[in-house]
């Protein structure tokens, strides 16, 4: 279906619809070995992937990042070349999105982003799926409140595929002014709620302000240089 899914910009509209709406999936992972490599803690993402791989007939291999040969000075390049020899696919969670980009150059089989500091497309897919399951449609008005986080970025990317989904992002004006994301017509930014009509809102979404990448006492760097292709 795709060689990599690091961001929504890696897939087309047809693939997006198949991922989101296709039901009664065949066990097309039969005899496939899928590795899970998580640099960062995970409960829901890790377990959901383990269960999903098993349900589709695959063999889920939970790889401990600290057990790899990085401690013996093996290079990032060689590590992912080795994984490429044994695995049929890879689920990778990392602190740095650039690691996903580099890994995809040496791991030549399907690779999926299970979270980076830039984006969390699988979370966005799950959110959109849940909204469609609950409301029976995606002609909805969403309000995102708070941080311009990786989940927010992925939701905005997904909005390029779902024109009937309207997203209002309410965040601090300094964050908004520094944001250089590519925004479609069905997404708008506001920095206060004075004129926002909650009666027109179907769902309010938010995220933590201190993410897994942040230390409690660190001031966040808000440059937002990322532009999806």
* One domain, residues 195 and 139: yes
Pair (101, 130) in one structural domain? no
> What gap in Å lies between CA 26 and CA 29, rounded to an integer?
8
**One domain, residues 106 and 172:** no
Residue 147: CATH number of its domain: 3.40.50.1370
For residue range 40-69, list pLDDT tens digits in order. Answer: 889 999 999 999 999 999 999 999 988 888
Give the total number of structural domains in the chain.
2
Question: Are residue 65 and residue 141 in the same domain, yes or no?
Answer: no
Expressed as residue numbers, the domain containing 36 is 4-113
Predicted TM-score of the model (pTM) = 0.87
Contact status, residue 97 vs residue 104, Cβ threshold 8 Å: no
User: How far apart are alpha carbons 165 and 20 in whole angstroms?
Assistant: 14
Q: How do residues 193-229 score in pLDDT, each as one tens digit?
A: 999 999 999 999 987 655 555 555 454 554 443 333 3
């Amino acid at each position: 279906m795709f060689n990599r899914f690091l961001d929504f910009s890696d897939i087309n509209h047809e693939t997006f619809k198949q991922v989101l709406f296709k039901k009664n999936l065949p066990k097309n992972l039969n005899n496939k070995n899928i590795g899970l490599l998580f640099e960062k803690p995970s409960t829901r993402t890790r377990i959901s992937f383990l269960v999903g791989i098993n349900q589709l007939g695959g063999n889920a291999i939970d790889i401990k990042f600290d057990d790899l040969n990085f401690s013996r000075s093996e290079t990032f390049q060689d590590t992912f070349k080795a994984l490429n020899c044994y695995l049929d696919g890879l689920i990778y969670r990392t602190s740095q999105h650039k690691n996903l980009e580099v890994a995809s150059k040496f791991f030549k089989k399907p690779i999926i982003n299970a979270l980076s500091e830039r984006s969390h497309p699988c979370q966005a897919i799950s959110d959109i799926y849940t909204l469609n399951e609950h409301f029976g449609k995606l002609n909805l008005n969403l309000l995102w409140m708070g941080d311009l986080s990786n989940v927010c970025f992925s939701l905005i990317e997904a909005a390029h595929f779902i024109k009937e989904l309207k997203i209002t992002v309410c965040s601090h004006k300094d964050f908004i002014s520094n944001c250089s994301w590519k925004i479609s017509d069905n997404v708008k930014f506001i920095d206060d709620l004075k004129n926002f009509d909650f009666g027109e809102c179907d769902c309010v979404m938010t995220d933590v302000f201190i993410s897994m990448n942040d230390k409690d006492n660190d001031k966040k760097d808000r440059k937002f240089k990322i532009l999806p292709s």
